[in-house]
Structure 1
């Protein structure tokens, strides 16, 4: 037996009754929860449809992700130009804006990566963390959280 004879390709593998034969209207009679070993496609996240009509130009259809990425790009540019606090704060605000867009709009195009809840939580937590860290950056922090200073002294000197 050669190596090619023992190898099985994804097209050769069948799953018995993964979906039963369709009825007269094209709907499957019975759907099971078993999945084939090799998937050929992935489900699009909810809300991943275009944010503008199909006849609009491509940038207009994807304006939510372009808005967030533009703000992040400006924030990175400001950070590179030695305006660290404002640049990182703008990056955090851009991610928080992405969370708000994902929450409010039914279709956000490529801004939708996962489920709506996961996207909102991810954009929100990362945006809030970046914005808080930007405000706590030294020297002369805009935001001071007293217990963090005590925690730092306890872990370093203790």
Structure 2
């Protein structure tokens, strides 16, 4: 990693740093934010996901800056707790609803912090498909399913027989 530092000792001024490493991610003005140790053969640069900025200002405490992901994780944790306490169906429905809420937050808010992992479209699609699948499967779980889909029952009998 080649860095040229002007001056002596201490942390250099960002304007005094010249980055020769093509992998370093520059900010909007072209200055390096950080230097990376990634192997430059495959990845030349990695951009932060759209919407990956803080959900609150930098002066807010860490939980307030990341409230969308904390809300989703708390709902999933509550769902897992309900599942562990033998309320399986409603615990897993809550897990699915938490993922659907994550998809809605990713869609509606411009900055969601660490809830943004990939592109906005991919995040929304992933959260929505997984959340809907988990919620529907929880509603169809035996015994006494809340939701019955006839063709799935026929498909199961066809594949098992």
- What residue is the counterpart of 2:50 in the other structure? 46
Structure 1: any 5+ residue segments left out of the alignment? 1-9, 12-17, 19-24, 27-35
Question: Which residue in 2 is equivalent to 1:133?
Answer: 137
Q: TM-score, normalised by structure 2?
A: 0.74
Q: CA RMSD in A?
A: 2.1
Structure number with bigger Rg: 1
- Number of residues of Structure 1 aligned to a counterpart in Structure 2: 128
1:76-103 CA-partner distances (Å, limit 9, x unpaired)? 0000111000100000000000000000
Q: Counterparts of 1:37 and 1:101 in 2: how far apart (Å)?
A: 36
TM-score calculated relative to the size of structure 1: 0.76
In the TM superposition, structure 1's runs of 4+ consecutive aligned residues that sit over 2 Å from their partners are: 36-42
Q: Which residue of 2 aligns with 1:72?
A: 76
Provide structure 2 residue ranges, at least 5 long, that are not aligned to the other structure.
3-21, 23-28, 31-39
Q: Give the corresponding residue for 2:103.
A: 99
Q: Which has the larger helix fraction?
A: 1
Query: Structure 1's 108 and 140: CA in aligned 2 closer, same or farther, altered over 3 A?
Result: same
**Which of 104, 122, 127 is equivalent to 2:126?**
122
Partners of 2:103 and 2:41 in 1: how far apart? 34
